[in-house]
Structure 1
Amino acid sequence: MSRYHNVTGLIIVVVLSFIVGCASTPTREGTGEYIDDSVITAKVKTAIFQEPSLQSAEINVETFKGVVQLSGFVSSRQDINTAVHVARRIVGVSDVRNDMLVKGQ
């Protein structure tokens, strides 16, 4: 009987450790959030790539907990506005942070 309790206790500890280990914190994403953010990043990159007025190779996209950060260099202020607008249209994006710079400024 004691062995049964030890095995049961061990299983409970392992399951609880797994659940706590995958939980998110204010500075670290949980597993589900990481996957969601990866999907959002891919969708934003695709939308920017499909926007004919943007040179997407120079725009970097990162996502953390639904907040998209755009960085890189673009040709004009209009390109910045377009990229931000495109990112905001994506489902799951809660906010867009713009760190893009206009070339030559």
Structure 2
Amino acid sequence: MKHFFRFFSAFILALTLMTAAGCASTQKKEGTGEYVDDTVISTKVRSALLSEPNLKSAEINVETFKGIVQLSGFVTSSADISKAVEIARGVNGVKSVKNDMHLR
């Protein structure tokens, strides 16, 4: 019985470690917590862009990976590009902003 208990304990420990390792992040893959954080950051950036009345933010796409926000899409002026980047940088949790927007 004692041998069974040790085996069972080792099995549970190994299973727990494998589960934790499966949720860990790598350079090219986000962990579960990072994915949720990035989703929240993207939502906050989209909301901030939408609240800017002079910016046609419906044509700006927002993607976030490990706190780095990428803005892409089309805008009508370079002032709109600058404004969108400035707004994104002002959102809490944004580490940096990659600008891939183009003028229409």
TM-score, scaled to structure 2: 0.96
Aligned residue number for residue 53 of structure 2: 52
Structure 2 unaligned blocks of 5 or more? none
What secondary structure, in the 3-state scheme, does the structure 2 residue paired with 1:29 have? coil
TM-score, scaled to structure 1: 0.95
Aligned residue number for residue 35 of structure 2: 34
Aligned residue number for residue 24 of structure 2: 23
Aligned residue number for residue 84 of structure 2: 83
Deviations 1:62-101 (A, max 9, x none): 0001000000001111110000000000011000000000
The amino acid of 2:38's aligned partner reads: D
- Offset at residue 2 of structure 1 (A): 1.7
- Offset at residue 3 of structure 1 (A): 1.4
Aligned residue number for residue 100 of structure 1: 101
- Offset at residue 18 of structure 1 (A): 1.1
> Which whole-Å CA distance do the structure 2 matches of 1:74 and 1:86 have between them?
15
What secondary structure, in the 3-state scheme, does the structure 2 residue paired with 1:40 have? helix
- Structure 1 residues 17-26 or 65-74, which shifts more? 17-26
Between the aligned residues of both structures, percent identity stands at 52
In the TM superposition, structure 1's runs of 4+ consecutive aligned residues that sit over 4 Å from their partners are none
Deviations 1:21-74 (A, max 9, x none): 111111111111111111100000000000111111100000001000000001
Aligned residue number for residue 73 of structure 2: 72
What secondary structure, in the 3-state scheme, does the structure 1 residue paired with 2:13 have? helix
